[in-house]
Amino acid sequence: MGSAILVAFTVLAFASFALASDPSPLQDFCVAIKDTKDGVFVNGKFCKDAKLATANDFFFSGLRKPGNTSNQLGSMVTPANVDQIPGLNTLGISLVRIDYAPYGLNPPHTHPRATEALAVLEGTLSVGFVTSNPDNRLFTKVLYPGDVFVFPEGLIHFQFNIGKTKAVAFAGLSSQNPGVITIAKSVFGSNPPISDDVLAKAFQIDKKMVDYLQAQFWTNN
């Protein structure tokens, strides 16, 4: 009887420890400081007095307008996160609208703080994500209007319009501030640039190719 109680207590203790973990960060990093006058509030934004809230705090009309796809990738992502909808603060969700020109690409990228569920409204998209090392498995599917595909948190994923007409998709993300890291821009368009010695060895290409890629204009998509 005593051992059973001990086991039950141990399980409860570990469960309590697991539940006591830190909340997921809502920014890339947070450097500790001692003097709060130079500090900022993190993991969300300051809250408005609930008595002063209005319907407009929970409203955004920006997703009704098509995004401008006149760029080298032929796509545009329009976000609806806590920066556009203040009422999303602390609610752990956000949205995006993605417009694609014919053969437009939303290039390989990750969301470090969110899982994404994408629904196609118009057009035909080839989508996929790649799992982490060591397997690096590619999961891919062709989506039609009404289809939904899920991209797990933190994994590299993409969408490519394989049709001859425009495409439109909406996606929900499991964070008010999911973040986005576009792989090509982060690697070849960082500020300041990553050493060409590093990139030449990492990608097994010569430095001239690295210099060429770093000289390109990388969009924010």
Q: Residue ranges for the binding site for oxalate?
A: 106, 111, 116
Known binding-site residues equal 106, 109, 111, 116, 157
Per residue, the 3-state secondary structure of the chain, as one string, reads: CHHHHHHHHHHHHHHHHHHCCCCCCCCCCCCCCCCHHHCCCCCCCCCCCHHHCCHHHHCCCHHHCCCCCCCCCCEEEEEECCCCCHHHCCCCCEEEEEEECCCCEEEEEECCCCCEEEEEEECCEEEEEECCCCCCCEEEEEECCCCEEEECCCCEEEEEECCCCCEEEEEEECCCCCCCEEHHHHHHCCCCCCCHHHHHHHHCCCHHHHHHHHCCCCCCC
Known binding-site residues for Mn(2+) equal 109, 111, 116, 157
